[in-house]
Structure 1
Amino acid sequence: MGMPIAFFEVVSDDHERAQKFYAALFDWQVAVDPGMGGYGLVDTGSGEGAIGGGIGPSAAPGDTGVKIYVRVPDLQTSLDRAEELGGTVLVPPTDLPGDYGRFALLADPDGNPVGLWA
Protein backbone atom coordinates (compact mmCIF):
# COMPACT_ATOMS: atom_id res chain seq x y z
CA MET A 1 0.00 0.00 0.00
CA GLY A 2 1.31 3.45 -0.88
CA MET A 3 2.09 6.25 1.55
CA PRO A 4 -0.49 9.07 1.63
CA ILE A 5 0.14 12.77 1.26
CA ALA A 6 -0.63 14.08 4.73
CA PHE A 7 0.22 17.78 4.76
CA PHE A 8 1.23 20.68 2.53
CA GLU A 9 3.30 23.69 3.42
CA VAL A 10 3.89 27.12 1.92
CA VAL A 11 7.02 28.90 3.17
CA SER A 12 7.43 32.57 2.30
CA ASP A 13 9.72 35.51 2.98
CA ASP A 14 6.45 37.40 3.63
CA HIS A 15 4.35 34.76 5.36
CA GLU A 16 1.63 37.20 6.43
CA ARG A 17 1.08 38.18 2.80
CA ALA A 18 1.06 34.50 1.78
CA GLN A 19 -1.45 33.65 4.52
CA LYS A 20 -3.79 36.43 3.39
CA PHE A 21 -3.36 35.50 -0.29
CA TYR A 22 -4.21 31.80 0.09
CA ALA A 23 -7.01 32.47 2.58
CA ALA A 24 -8.66 34.93 0.18
CA LEU A 25 -7.99 32.92 -2.98
CA PHE A 26 -9.25 29.54 -1.73
CA ASP A 27 -11.50 30.59 1.20
CA TRP A 28 -9.19 28.80 3.66
CA GLN A 29 -9.04 29.47 7.39
CA VAL A 30 -5.50 30.19 8.65
CA ALA A 31 -4.97 29.92 12.41
CA VAL A 32 -1.76 31.81 13.18
CA ASP A 33 0.21 30.68 16.22
CA PRO A 34 2.46 33.47 17.61
CA GLY A 35 4.30 30.83 19.66
CA MET A 36 5.41 29.23 16.39
CA GLY A 37 6.81 32.45 14.94
CA GLY A 38 3.59 33.35 13.12
CA TYR A 39 3.24 29.94 11.43
CA GLY A 40 -0.39 29.38 10.47
CA LEU A 41 -2.18 26.04 10.34
CA VAL A 42 -4.55 25.85 7.39
CA ASP A 43 -8.05 24.41 7.40
CA THR A 44 -9.11 24.08 3.77
CA GLY A 45 -12.75 23.64 4.81
CA SER A 46 -12.93 20.44 2.79
CA GLY A 47 -14.31 18.34 5.64
CA GLU A 48 -13.30 15.22 7.50
CA GLY A 49 -10.23 13.51 6.12
CA ALA A 50 -9.09 16.50 4.04
CA ILE A 51 -5.38 17.24 3.80
CA GLY A 52 -4.41 20.17 5.99
CA GLY A 53 -1.45 22.43 5.71
CA GLY A 54 0.57 25.29 7.00
CA ILE A 55 1.80 28.67 5.82
CA GLY A 56 4.80 30.11 7.56
CA PRO A 57 7.90 32.22 7.54
CA SER A 58 11.17 31.36 5.90
CA ALA A 59 13.75 30.08 8.38
CA ALA A 60 16.78 29.87 6.08
CA PRO A 61 17.86 31.14 2.66
CA GLY A 62 16.41 29.07 -0.15
CA ASP A 63 13.68 27.34 1.87
CA THR A 64 10.74 29.23 0.36
CA GLY A 65 8.21 27.44 -1.82
CA VAL A 66 5.60 24.72 -1.61
CA LYS A 67 6.24 21.27 -0.15
CA ILE A 68 4.20 18.15 0.30
CA TYR A 69 4.61 15.92 3.34
CA VAL A 70 4.09 12.20 2.99
CA ARG A 71 3.04 10.13 6.00
CA VAL A 72 5.53 7.30 6.54
CA PRO A 73 5.79 4.66 9.27
CA ASP A 74 9.50 5.32 9.95
CA LEU A 75 11.35 8.52 9.08
CA GLN A 76 14.87 7.10 9.13
CA THR A 77 13.96 4.08 7.02
CA SER A 78 12.40 6.38 4.42
CA LEU A 79 15.44 8.71 4.45
CA ASP A 80 17.79 5.75 4.03
CA ARG A 81 15.71 4.49 1.09
CA ALA A 82 15.68 7.97 -0.49
CA GLU A 83 19.49 8.08 -0.34
CA GLU A 84 19.69 4.61 -1.94
CA LEU A 85 17.54 5.97 -4.78
CA GLY A 86 19.67 9.09 -5.34
CA GLY A 87 18.05 11.56 -2.96
CA THR A 88 19.71 13.49 -0.16
CA VAL A 89 18.73 14.23 3.42
CA LEU A 90 18.04 17.93 4.07
CA VAL A 91 16.71 17.73 7.64
CA PRO A 92 17.08 14.63 9.83
CA PRO A 93 14.16 13.35 11.95
CA THR A 94 13.05 16.26 14.14
CA ASP A 95 10.38 16.56 16.82
CA LEU A 96 7.52 18.96 16.16
CA PRO A 97 6.03 21.01 19.00
CA GLY A 98 3.05 19.64 20.88
CA ASP A 99 1.54 16.39 19.72
CA TYR A 100 2.25 16.93 16.02
CA GLY A 101 4.76 14.07 15.72
CA ARG A 102 8.09 14.20 13.90
CA PHE A 103 9.23 15.29 10.45
CA ALA A 104 12.21 15.10 8.12
CA LEU A 105 13.05 16.64 4.74
CA LEU A 106 14.75 15.12 1.74
CA ALA A 107 15.63 16.30 -1.73
CA ASP A 108 14.74 14.06 -4.65
CA PRO A 109 17.40 13.47 -7.36
CA ASP A 110 16.26 16.71 -9.08
CA GLY A 111 16.65 18.73 -5.89
CA ASN A 112 12.93 19.08 -5.11
CA PRO A 113 12.28 19.15 -1.35
CA VAL A 114 9.86 16.56 0.00
CA GLY A 115 8.71 16.33 3.60
CA LEU A 116 8.18 13.16 5.57
CA TRP A 117 5.89 13.03 8.59
CA ALA A 118 5.49 10.32 11.18
Structure 2
Amino acid sequence: MNYPHVVTWFEIPVSDLARAVRFYETVFAITLNQDACPSGMKMAVFPAEKEAVNGCLVQHESCKPSADGTTVYLNGGDDLSVPLARAEQAGATIVVPKTQISPEIGYFAQFIDSEGNRVGLYSMH
Protein backbone atom coordinates (compact mmCIF):
# COMPACT_ATOMS: atom_id res chain seq x y z
CA MET A 1 0.00 0.00 0.00
CA ASN A 2 1.10 3.52 -0.73
CA TYR A 3 0.66 6.07 2.09
CA PRO A 4 1.23 9.57 0.66
CA HIS A 5 0.34 11.20 4.01
CA VAL A 6 0.87 10.03 7.57
CA VAL A 7 -2.23 11.90 8.70
CA THR A 8 -5.53 11.13 6.96
CA TRP A 9 -8.06 12.88 9.23
CA PHE A 10 -8.02 14.77 12.53
CA GLU A 11 -10.61 15.76 15.09
CA ILE A 12 -10.14 18.60 17.57
CA PRO A 13 -12.45 18.04 20.56
CA VAL A 14 -14.52 20.99 21.76
CA SER A 15 -16.90 21.67 24.63
CA ASP A 16 -18.87 24.40 22.88
CA LEU A 17 -19.05 23.95 19.10
CA ALA A 18 -20.46 27.42 18.39
CA ARG A 19 -17.69 29.11 20.38
CA ALA A 20 -14.99 26.94 18.77
CA VAL A 21 -16.37 27.59 15.27
CA ARG A 22 -16.24 31.36 15.90
CA PHE A 23 -12.67 31.02 17.17
CA TYR A 24 -11.32 28.97 14.23
CA GLU A 25 -13.24 30.94 11.60
CA THR A 26 -11.67 34.10 13.06
CA VAL A 27 -8.16 32.66 13.26
CA PHE A 28 -8.07 31.28 9.71
CA ALA A 29 -10.54 33.69 8.01
CA ILE A 30 -12.56 30.69 6.74
CA THR A 31 -16.03 29.20 7.04
CA LEU A 32 -16.40 25.74 8.55
CA ASN A 33 -19.14 23.39 7.37
CA GLN A 34 -21.25 22.37 10.38
CA ASP A 35 -22.93 18.98 10.37
CA ALA A 36 -24.60 16.59 12.78
CA CYS A 37 -23.82 12.88 12.71
CA PRO A 38 -26.32 10.10 13.33
CA SER A 39 -24.33 9.21 16.47
CA GLY A 40 -25.24 12.55 18.06
CA MET A 41 -21.77 13.94 17.47
CA LYS A 42 -21.67 17.55 16.26
CA MET A 43 -18.99 18.46 13.74
CA ALA A 44 -17.61 21.50 11.94
CA VAL A 45 -15.35 20.52 9.04
CA PHE A 46 -12.45 22.65 7.85
CA PRO A 47 -12.57 23.59 4.16
CA ALA A 48 -9.97 21.76 2.06
CA GLU A 49 -9.16 20.65 -1.45
CA LYS A 50 -10.58 17.27 -2.42
CA GLU A 51 -7.31 15.32 -2.07
CA ALA A 52 -6.01 17.21 0.98
CA VAL A 53 -5.76 15.78 4.48
CA ASN A 54 -8.62 17.31 6.41
CA GLY A 55 -10.30 17.37 9.78
CA CYS A 56 -12.92 18.93 11.97
CA LEU A 57 -13.97 20.28 15.32
CA VAL A 58 -16.05 17.68 17.15
CA GLN A 59 -18.40 17.99 20.13
CA HIS A 60 -19.48 14.79 21.86
CA GLU A 61 -19.55 13.54 25.42
CA SER A 62 -16.74 11.08 24.63
CA CYS A 63 -14.39 13.81 23.29
CA LYS A 64 -12.69 16.05 25.83
CA PRO A 65 -10.45 19.02 25.00
CA SER A 66 -6.92 18.80 26.38
CA ALA A 67 -3.69 20.77 26.37
CA ASP A 68 -1.76 17.62 27.31
CA GLY A 69 -2.53 15.18 24.48
CA THR A 70 -1.60 14.98 20.83
CA THR A 71 -0.82 18.30 19.17
CA VAL A 72 -2.24 18.91 15.70
CA TYR A 73 -0.33 21.39 13.53
CA LEU A 74 -2.52 23.40 11.18
CA ASN A 75 -1.32 25.16 8.06
CA GLY A 76 -0.25 28.69 8.96
CA GLY A 77 -0.29 29.83 5.32
CA ASP A 78 2.51 31.94 3.92
CA ASP A 79 3.44 33.31 7.37
CA LEU A 80 2.01 31.82 10.56
CA SER A 81 2.35 35.22 12.25
CA VAL A 82 -0.97 36.24 10.68
CA PRO A 83 -3.21 33.46 12.07
CA LEU A 84 -1.20 33.45 15.32
CA ALA A 85 -2.01 37.14 15.86
CA ARG A 86 -5.69 36.49 15.07
CA ALA A 87 -5.67 33.56 17.52
CA GLU A 88 -4.34 35.81 20.28
CA GLN A 89 -6.91 38.50 19.45
CA ALA A 90 -9.64 35.82 19.61
CA GLY A 91 -8.56 34.87 23.13
CA ALA A 92 -5.92 32.17 22.62
CA THR A 93 -2.98 31.87 24.96
CA ILE A 94 0.29 31.68 23.02
CA VAL A 95 2.42 28.95 24.61
CA VAL A 96 5.18 28.81 21.97
CA PRO A 97 5.71 31.98 19.92
CA LYS A 98 6.71 31.80 16.27
CA THR A 99 9.93 29.81 16.37
CA GLN A 100 12.26 28.82 13.55
CA ILE A 101 12.94 25.10 13.30
CA SER A 102 15.60 25.66 10.61
CA PRO A 103 15.80 27.69 7.38
CA GLU A 104 15.06 24.54 5.36
CA ILE A 105 12.13 23.32 7.48
CA GLY A 106 10.36 26.55 8.46
CA TYR A 107 8.56 27.81 11.57
CA PHE A 108 6.09 26.62 14.18
CA ALA A 109 4.06 28.08 17.05
CA GLN A 110 1.57 26.70 19.56
CA PHE A 111 -1.45 28.17 21.34
CA ILE A 112 -4.24 27.08 23.68
CA ASP A 113 -7.51 27.47 21.78
CA SER A 114 -10.93 28.60 23.04
CA GLU A 115 -11.65 25.07 24.29
CA GLY A 116 -8.38 24.38 26.11
CA ASN A 117 -6.61 22.38 23.37
CA ARG A 118 -2.94 22.86 22.53
CA VAL A 119 -2.85 23.50 18.77
CA GLY A 120 0.17 24.14 16.56
CA LEU A 121 0.71 26.23 13.47
CA TYR A 122 3.32 25.58 10.79
CA SER A 123 4.63 27.67 7.88
CA MET A 124 7.79 28.06 5.86
CA HIS A 125 8.06 31.78 6.74
TM-score by length of 2: 0.43
Hey, which of these two has a bigger chunk of helix by percent? 1
